[in-house]
Copies of this chain bind each other. A is one copy, B any other.
């Protein structure tokens, strides 16, 4: 799956719980957060050339790859765990080091990225909630373009990168 010029990247981490800000505080209102319990954190980044076909491959890989410890010691997918899913847009994952700074020349433009991000979140939600075993699991998602104020507690993140 790895190529020198990927169209998208996901970064997967296991968690016991996680919390993400989805709306910054204003003068009148406190900041709003979403939380998940045990499950999977999915950082998503779209690069130039990403399209709906890539979105489908990314969602399938995020939800079906066997990365979660089941009670019997075997690895199962988050769909089979079943567990919650927290999706975090993370454009910085598309950066390349140049000297002492990161450059983001290959990132997709914001409008296209936001459309693909929404499609990714919708597809993950439908897949998780469309399956009997995981229909009560939460699929939460960050707001595209916001600062992803975030905290997590893990029993070992077992960080995996998958390129598309």
Is A153 an interface residue when CB atoms closer than 8 A count as contact?
Answer: yes
Is A102 an interface residue when CB atoms closer than 8 A count as contact?
Answer: yes
Q: Tell me the bound Cα distance from A154 to B156 in angstroms.
A: 17
A93 contact from B77, B101, B152, B160, Cβ within 8 A: B160
A105-148 contact mask (Cβ, 8 Å, vs B): 1 or 0: 00000000000000000000000000000000000000000011
Size band of the interface chain A makes with B: 35 or more
Nearest residue in B to A64 (C-beta to C-beta)? B100
Q: Tell me the bound Cα distance from A90 to B158 in angstroms.
A: 7
B159, A43: Cβ atoms closer than 8 Å:
yes
A90 contact from B65, B151, B159, Cβ within 8 A: B159
A156 contact from B75, B101, B150, B157, Cβ within 8 A: B150
Q: Write the nearest CB–CB distance from A65 to chain B, whole angstroms.
A: 6
Contacts of A161 in B (CB 8 A): 9, 11, 93, 95, 161
Q: Tell me the bound Cα distance from A101 to B64 in angstroms.
A: 9
Contacts of A160 in B (CB 8 A): 92-93, 95, 102
B149, A151: Cβ atoms closer than 8 Å:
no
Contacts of A100 in B (CB 8 A): 64-66, 77
Q: Write the nearest CB–CB distance from A85 to chain B, whole angstroms.
A: 16
Q: Write the nearest CB–CB distance from A30 to chain B, whole angstroms.
A: 16
Q: Tell me the bound Cα distance from A102 to B157 in angstroms.
A: 15
Is A25 an interface residue when CB atoms closer than 8 A count as contact?
Answer: no
**Contacts from A to B (Cβ < 8 Å):** 1-4, 9, 11, 43, 61, 64-67, 75, 77, 90, 92-93, 95-97, 100-102, 147-162
